[in-house]
Amino acid sequence: MNKLALVTTLGLTLVIAAGCANKSVVRYGDATAVETTDINFGSTDLQKVAAQMTDSLLLSPVVGTLTQNTRPVMFVERLKNKTSEHIDTESITDSISTKLLRSGKFRFVDMGRVEAAREQLKFQHDGGMVDASKATQFGRQIGAQYMLYGNLSSIVKSNQDKSDVYYKFTLRLMDLESGLVEWADETEIRKTKAKESVGW
């Protein structure tokens, strides 16, 4: 009898321990907290480059002159990722364009949605379901005057003691009519990770 009780107790203990071991807890974190999981490009880096480059553009005397009496129309070209990592560059351009739009100094055309807009206009005119007098007219969209574009590149070095990654983010504003670059800036990030030595 004692053996049976012992085996049963041991079995229940193992089941409970296994259940506790697999239990995970989800908590909300601070989205702006510094993220140091590894040295790859992360959320803190995205926030840093988006904030720095947006501030630099908005504080530029040239841009101050361009936006003095008007809100120029701009489009943002997706950043070129020249790093060896898979980086969602669309998130960077989304953050930058959102901050610029919030400033009230620029208006934007979304080149990523041109085909969807064309399909909607075609539906309004050819679908037979929209009152022709209330359909949005073709050929009335406003073209962009400026293009914002840039690159994200990196240099990675490592040895047995340390890993080092250097990121350079460059952004330029081009006048589409003249082809002149009206503004440019760059920001840099360096991250290092020391490899811990295990002592005996």
33/40 Cα distance (integer angstroms): 16
36/26 Cα distance (integer angstroms): 19
Shared domain check, 150 and 120? no
52/168 Cα distance (integer angstroms): 13
**Which pLDDT tens digit goes with each residue over 25-55?**
877 766 666 666 667 787 788 888 889 999 9
Shared domain check, 178 and 127? no
User: pTM (2 decimals)?
Assistant: 0.72
- Total structural domains in the chain? 2
CATH of the domain at 72: 3.30.2300.10
70 lies in some domain: yes
Scanning 23-88, the segments in alpha helix (DSSP H) are 43-59, 61-66
Shared domain check, 104 and 177? yes
**Which pLDDT tens digit goes with each residue over 121-149?**
888 888 788 888 888 888 778 889 999 99
Question: How far apart, in Å, are the Cα atoms of 11 and each of 2, 18, 22?
Answer: 14, 11, 17
The more confident residue out of 11 and 196 is 196
* SS3 assignment, position 94: helix
Shared domain check, 137 and 161? no
| Residue located via tokens 């720095």 | 52
Shared domain check, 120 and 165? no
Shared domain check, 101 and 171? yes
pLDDT of residue 73: 93
Shared domain check, 100 and 135? no
